Structure 1
Amino acid sequence: MNMWQKAIEDAVQKTKVNMERFGDLFPHVSDNDVYLLNPNDDWTDGFWSGILWLCYEYSGDQAFREAARKTVASFKQRLEKNVALDHHDIGFLYSLSSKAQWIIEKDEAAKALTLQAADVLLKRWRPKGQYIQAWGPEGDEHNGGRIIIDCLMNLPLLYWAYEQTGDAKYKEIAVTHANLSRRYLVRGDDSSFHTFYFDQENGEPLHGGTHQGYRDGSTWTRGQAWGIYGFALSYRYTKDPLYLETSKRLARYFFERLPEDNVVYWDFNVPVDADTKRDSSASAIASAGALELLDHLPQDDADRKFLEDGIQRSMNGLVDKYATIGKPDAQGFIEHGSYHVRGGNAPDDYMIWGDYYYLEALLRLEKGLKGYWYE
């Protein structure tokens, strides 16, 4: 059994135990190594569903399938009751739950639910500014003109809806937002802003900023990772070479800055000392995203070897030094993720999205399973 297989088997076993621990609740981040649970009312709840579907595809164990299907039923109720859906993370919620079920089982009810979710995401579209608003109600004084780099991972829900329906509005909005993100969130040195603000009335660009990074002009490592993966997915759906180029630029910036143990700190510009927090989830996302990027590069591409080495270094670092292999009671797959360091919110804990992308990257490497961002 190679190291990837060992890590996958460990994650699958932990998921089986977690199914009993969590019951009908959803894990978010941990506190003292115990996952905090919620009744499907947070932006992160799709990642648990995605982990269950990945475990089912890998193992064929019907227990994972039944647990995953139960989460989809919960997401159906969440949409019907409109529980905590007033944000842009609808793609994270429904791509990894109901869309995953459609991809695996071709369940028509799951497809219909996912299309309804895409319509919920469209409600975040602001025609005056030509962007998808990240947070808050329309007209919100602070967030009304804000986009964030995370949203690139929600756009695949709209691309998919276009493919399923032929309705051009889904793709047009996704492309418009991706282009705006490329222009204003990606800097000339290939780093990235976490957020950018626009005038709500006329769409004029105002300034870059951050919410979870070290400072407005720094590069939040998880944001850089979202950009790697998100632009690679926009390329998959549109074949616009500018998206491929942007994903490569962001990936090179990320992997050129790996620290000695190959797992990144929470921000590329934060002063580093013995107490500086890591973000293992950023390394997991970047690895999965770079694996997606490699799917689109020819074998003789000048950046291919560098990207392959970066992925290997990152994943080796996670498996060797951050994974909970050999800790059967651990609830998370990888330690030392960070949610919001400056805000004091889970600065050094398990992150359910870190666990998801870690497992997705492992399954890409070992089995060619690629998650649920596209069919």
Structure 2
Amino acid sequence: MWKQAIEDAVQKTRANIERFGSQFPHVSENGHYLLNDNDEWTDGFWSGILWLCYEYTGDEVFKAAAERTVDSFRKRMDAKVKLDHHDIGFLYSLSSKAQWIIERDEKAKELTLQAADVLLARWRPKGQYIQAWGPEGDPQNGGRIIIDCMLNLPLLYWAYEQTGDAKYKEVAILHADKSRRFLVRGDDSSYHTFYFDPETGGAIRGGTHQGYQDGSTWTRGQAWGIYGFALSYHYTKNPLYLETSKRLARFFIERLPEDNVVYWDFDVPVNADTKRDSSGSAIAAAGILELLTHLEANDPDRAFLEDGLQRSMKGLVEGYATIGQPDAEGLLEHGSYSVRVDLSPDDYMIWGDYYYLEALVRLEKGIKGYWYER
């Protein structure tokens, strides 16, 4: 099943190279990806898909296309085009860091270290967190963290490994600890976002930006947490991060619907019109795959997590993948960007496509993503 799904994804990606040209896919509208000139937070995912296809096939077509994206990211860094947010890890881990991991290209390594410095500049020492959005002192976002940032922290951990400069790892750990304390609730659910006093770091309140309501559990946020804390465990071996990833994963799996692909929020009232988020299920599956690599064979949670992984991936492949639709641009249907504001609530999501393919190639060939050195 996995091999057929990968071959389908590879064929579509090959066609998309010509369709997209030098532009980058974001989300879809009327069945077609909306393209941009590398100025979205999501543009690293296209690069990551190309690198995964190259590693799986060895086809130079994918390598050449992936290298062109890295050239684009170099230009984006030089011009500082919309790098004023925390999603630098999504952008550069899957583009230039991927090139470094695969090809050992020194220029790609240098570019990735530049990106780590851009992310590090969002550290707010007074509050002791990485600010998600907006400039320092922003009245709305100056004290805000969001759970998505757990997938950006690997860029800082990696920079520490490459340079030996402890500041990168120290900031990543402090932010992960704060995220664990304030974003993860006692019942193993999660807040999407949390607000602090930017001067003192004092806790104000939890909330949401894309979930159903402030106290609900946005499914994609829960998935970010599963994968992000597993990766923080990989880099630090702090058992609290492993425990947190397991807790978040169990909560996620226990609430899978009948077809095993999640709705956009675990607390939203479900009816015939309730939107799914296939991208949330794809991220969670990739995260559980990482989590499983850190568990002992006799871990009491292993069988439950493995079953949840298989159910999730089977649900995606059989019910949401565009297999059998040769002209489809996306790999997964029924992803949701932001249902709250009716922004691509039922469309292709390039990040969903990336994590879906990452999980598939890891299951089939053991090819990991680009979050750490292999």
Answer whether TM exceeds 0.5 for this pair. yes
Give the aligned partner of residue 290 of structure 2. 292
The 1-side partners of 2:362 and 2:50 are apart by 16
Pick aligned residue for 1:371 from 364, 369, 372: 369
The 2-side partners of 1:116 and 1:210 are apart by 31
Q: Counterpart amino acid of 1:7?
A: A
The 2-side partners of 1:203 and 1:246 are apart by 22
- Within a 5 Å distance, the mapping from 1:84-123 to structure 2 comes to 84-123=82-121
Q: Counterpart amino acid of 2:52?
A: L
The 2-side partners of 1:133 and 1:279 are apart by 26
Deviations 1:252-275 (A, max 9, x none): 000000000000000000000000
- Within a 5 Å distance, the mapping from 1:1-375 to structure 2 comes to 3-375=1-373
The 1-side partners of 2:54 and 2:369 are apart by 12
In the alignment, structure 2 segments of 5+ residues that lack a partner are none
SS in 2 for 1:348: coil
Aligned-residue offset at 1:78: 0.2
Q: Counterpart amino acid of 1:215?
A: Q
% same residue:
79
**For this pair of structures, how many residues does the alignment match?**
373
Normalising to structure 1: TM-score of the pair? 0.99
The 1-side partners of 2:332 and 2:114 are apart by 33
Aligned-residue offset at 1:134: 0.1
Aligned-residue offset at 1:214: 0.1
The 2-side partners of 1:55 and 1:364 are apart by 12
The 2-side partners of 1:33 and 1:201 are apart by 46
Deviations 1:282-326 (A, max 9, x none): 000000000000000000000000000000000000000000000
Normalising to structure 2: TM-score of the pair? 1.00
Which runs of at least 4 in structure 1 moved beyond 4 Å after TM superposition?
none
The 2-side partners of 1:212 and 1:367 are apart by 34
Q: Counterpart amino acid of 1:80?
A: D
The 1-side partners of 2:343 and 2:363 are apart by 32
SS in 1 for 2:304: helix
The 2-side partners of 1:285 and 1:82 are apart by 28
Q: Counterpart amino acid of 2:131?
A: Q
* Pairwise CA RMSD: 0.3
The 1-side partners of 2:131 and 2:367 are apart by 32
Aligned-residue offset at 1:219: 0.1
SS in 1 for 2:74: helix
The 2-side partners of 1:26 and 1:326 are apart by 24
In the alignment, structure 1 segments of 5+ residues that lack a partner are none
SS in 2 for 1:206: strand
